[in-house]
Structure 1
């Protein structure tokens, strides 16, 4: 299994908070807890992986036991709340197996853990050698109060047959819901309504944008749900929930482009040390060769075409940006081929057709672009090249431009965030129309972007990847402590709307990143 090594360079983030001051009110020893206008007897949580307690790239038992709905449910018990049952995994490995006519297939990785640190960066590995032990086809006995389904979009909660194992391969069903659906033909919302909940929470919609962003905005792999369609599905979902007459709380969607999974790797990771595998002298020699073979000639050609800012020679003293393909650029392949042919340089003449075909929409990454964590492992891997092209030109992201799906361009980032803004308008309108409590998770998470952090009983939490205590090792989902912070945001909104006074939870009692 290939090692996963993630840099701990500067991170912007997803979580939430405002200052280093104590952001929690926990001194409730002299306060009588009341439920106010709410009835917490039967609390059911709807959502996706964030609701399920997913973390470290997997669903596993300890993470589920620290899901934010479970934390909220414990506080509800103080005023008559009932038991809160979750579809627990049988162990702490994570990963899923699916029995098919062709044999048993592993369809999800096990959880990530830090094996060691290499040059200050965590060396991440998969638990149990990435061998899953949970069989998806084994259906658990419900009903379950935590109905968070990893990978679910808004429309999926409405879809019949979403728990049918026969539809997993075709992606019409979800393997996690297969585990606890009451029957194969049911939907998440139908199983929710069967329970006749008295109170609910809903945090859904993240995946309508997140999966597309993590795929580098590659529409052939994942789609960004159009805002109009999202609004239709969301309103239909909320109307179904409202038919139960349960009271509840709804949260909006954070900017998925600010999570560590998309902000940890810089756009300019190519230093002489990196290019020389730790040997600066060798790295400088590589820079000289690349400038002579590719960067210098292309810069001259593109400058003559009025596009010299696309590719500039590499620096020996500064960090250099990745080389990418930007499909929004005007193609200049024909012009590059013509210029290379006319140059009189035998090397350029021999490569003229290749240069035009490969670099016509190439540019160096720049501020505003985002590099997914998953792209780091691909930097420098070799692209198969046509006969006659030097192998040294095949290093992806260095001499060979990364395909567009490896990078989120600034334009793609803006499109995603504009769409999320529209999603959040729809979510807020739905909550207001039904009189539900509302959590502005997007605002809280944006506040954390200031990196000011929060402090609770002397423990400071920030959004910094690995060391900040809030994000788990996948850079998307939270640690137990991070989920405790979001649980408190839900509790605050519930109390404000329904005149209850549920006490907040203590984040320090939950787990963070485990270090070797």
Structure 2
């Protein structure tokens, strides 16, 4: 009986369909008549010829994300998303080929053995929800591109500076895997050989970002303004002279990236069980603090000593339960440990002993971090570790955190000012070319979207995007546009969702804290589409941002 009932219940839906299909057909037709299904999506390219679109740029253009170049990231690069919209009926776009990496995880580093191409290679990062931090997957070293290099459209090269695009000696492994003639060809030349009708150009990020990501250690890594301008003029001039039109993007405010915001300046935490350790540390640093006060006193009587009380106080170290500032190196400070410097003067005037002088040596350019200092994301794996296995030598606590772990206030200012200099240069070069080429280039300013996403106040947006305080008209215009979008609310509203400027599950950045995730790439693509629609008479459909994935995460 039970088995018979099972069959009967299984037949009920069929019976309903059989005996009510005529009535249902009528209802469905009425619904279609009142609410017709949307037809195939269409658009309009306006005056643009998008039939052969090429992209020129660095890691973002390539689709690098989660600290690696991998297949899914490439598929979600903003140029690929743009090309998909350009291919919609009526817009006029053609095929878009990328130098596929053909790897699910890609390659981020050589792993423990420091030997690329071995079994311990590391790949893309994922967010570990259990550990609350990015962790690497197993990777695989990439090989040469196996496709037809003459058919490529995406010429994004991770790590490429603006001057590299025209350099035949550019030996970047990501470029060499698809270069038409390694050692002779250039990225720009390969791109031009495809006879583009339209281009996107986003270079210049690495010309200052490399300095910032490395904690501001090497100023020689920053591209000079004259070299930046010369390379920009050469590349854009060649692209426009080829007959192509295109878009050029400004540089974003790098100091806002999650890479510089994930680790707080006061990351040294002590709980109630650490009171004895706190007392021990304060006893240890009493000598440094007294020496600093001694320098203030000597400044009143010795002409070769000039230490104010404010400077001494800024260098003093003390700890308490709760969150404490990271003890850091700051190469912008006067080095008290230099030969003949302030610490030597204390010894010479018998203010300290030889042993005390030796104990002061590590603190010649140290101070506790402030809220204006930006620890880099990679500092999280170094802070709190011991030096040489000594329990009393702890990085960021008793040993100053190395210069490459923190972007200091002065280094922060260097990044802001150089980014603004580059952006003013971009605006000037684009305006100059447009004056001679009938507006062939559309300038897309990405800064207002960043001001919105990061919840800047109008005043902060102005200071960040125009350090010239109105002296440079291009920067003043950028600042005005950013102020208009700066609402003071963290996150950017997209399709009814508040997406956050981080690599959390509802964020727009990938787990490396620098590169956008697919949703972030879609936002960039839409900024470009919006500009083309407004300035070129186009009607290109927008990318559905929230239909794309955010970060890659795992439970363990």
Q: Fold match, TM over 0.5?
A: yes
The Cα shift of 1:43 comes to 0.3
How do residues 220-235 of structure 1 correspond to structure 2 at under 5 angstroms? 223-235=221-233
From 281, 284, 304, the equivalent of 1:293 is: 284
Paired residue secondary structure (1:59): coil
TM-fit CA distance, 1:200:
0.5
State which of 338, 342, 353 in structure 2 corresponds to 1:335.
Answer: 342
The answer as to 2:122 corresponding to 1:127 is no
> Partners in 2 of 1:312 and 1:179 — Cα distance?
52
Answering whether residue 381 of structure 2 is matched by residue 373 of structure 1, we say no
SS, match of residue 209 in structure 1: helix
CA change 1:398–1:452 in 2 (3 A) is closer
Asked if 1:252 is matched to 2:250, the reply is: yes
Pair 444,151 (structure 1): closer, same or farther in 2 beyond 3 Å: same
Are the counterparts in 2 of residues 336 and 355 from structure 1 also a CA contact under 8 Å?
A: no
- Normalising to structure 1: TM-score of the pair? 0.82
- Determine the structure 2 residue equivalent to 1:85: 97
Q: Secondary structure at the match of 2:94?
A: coil
Counterpart of 1:394 in 2: which secondary structure? strand
Correspondent of 2:323 among 314, 319, 326: 319
Matched, 1:114 2:127: yes
Name the SS of the counterpart of 1:117 in structure 2. Answer: coil
- Distance (whole Å) between structure 1 residues aligned to residue 128 and residue 374 of structure 2: 27
Which is worse superposed, 308-317 or 201-210? 308-317
Q: Secondary structure at the match of 1:127?
A: strand
Task: Pick the aligned partner of 1:238 from 214, 236, 239.
Answer: 236
1:90 Cα deviation from its structure 2 partner:
1.1
For residues 222 and 327 of structure 2, the distance between their equivalents in structure 1, rounded to whole angstroms, comes to: 25
Instruction: Using the TM superposition, give the Cα deviation of residue 108 of structure 1 relative to its aligned residue in structure 2, in angstroms.
Output: 7.9
The aligned residue for residue 12 of structure 1 is: none
2:529 aligned partner:
491
SS at match of 1:213: helix
Q: SS in structure 2 opposite 1:305? A: helix
* Whole-angstrom CA distance in 1 between matches of 2:427 and 2:539: 23
Q: Counterpart in 1 of 2:393? A: 394
Q: What's the Cα RMSD here?
A: 2.6
Report the equivalent of 1:24: none
User: Which of 310, 313, 337 in structure 2 is aligned with 1:309?
Assistant: 313
Question: 1:2-401, aligned counterparts within 5 Å?
Answer: 33-78=43-88, 79-95=91-107, 109-118=122-131, 121-122=132-133, 124-128=134-138, 131-135=139-143, 137=144, 140-142=147-149, 143-162=151-170, 173-184=171-182, 185-219=184-218, 223-273=221-271, 280-281=272-273, 283-294=274-285, 296-306=286-296, 307-333=311-337, 334-336=341-343, 339=346, 349=353, 351-384=355-388, 391-401=390-400
- Displacement after TM superposition at 1:158 (Å): 0.8
C-alpha contact 1:383 1:396 (8 A) present in aligned 2: yes
Structure possessing the higher relative contact order (Cα contacts under 8 Å, 6 or more residues apart): 1
Q: Tell whether the 8 Å contact from 2:68 to 2:108 is kept in structure 1 after alignment.
A: no
Question: Is the contact made by 1:341 and 1:352 (CA closer than 8 Å) also made in structure 2?
Answer: no
1:69 is displaced (CA, Å) by 0.8
The secondary structure found in structure 1 opposite 2:443 is: strand
The alpha carbon displacement at 1:356 in A equals 3.6
Query: Is 1:461 aligned to 2:499, yes or no?
Result: yes
Alignment correspondent of 2:551? 513
| Equivalent residue, structure 1, for 2:468 | none
Shift of 1:453: 2.3
8 Å contact kept, 2:108–2:122: yes
Deviation at 1:33, TM superposition (A): 1.9
Whole-angstrom CA distance in 2 between matches of 1:63 and 1:403: 33
Q: Distance in 2 between matches of 1:103 and 1:440?
A: 41
Q: SS at the partner of 2:356?
A: helix
8 Å contact from structure 1 (residues 302, 310) kept in 2: no
Bigger share in helix: 2
User: Could you tell me how far apart the structure 2 residues matched to 1:461 and 1:377 are?
Assistant: 27
TM-aligned CA deviation for residue 178 of structure 1 = 1.1
User: How far apart, in 1, do the equivalents of 2:55 and 2:41 lie?
Assistant: 27
Report the equivalent of 1:475: 513
- Structure 1: stretches of 5+ with no match in the other structure: 1-27, 163-172, 274-279, 386-390
Structure with greater Cα Rg:
2
Q: Distance in 1 between matches of 2:97 and 2:399?
A: 51
For 1:228 and 1:35, locate their aligned partners in 2 and report how far apart those are by CA, in whole Å.
36
**SS in structure 1 of the partner of residue 387 of structure 2:** coil
Partners of 2:53 and 2:83 within 8 A in 1 = yes
**For the Cα contact (< 8 Å) 1:60–1:91, is it kept in 2?**
yes
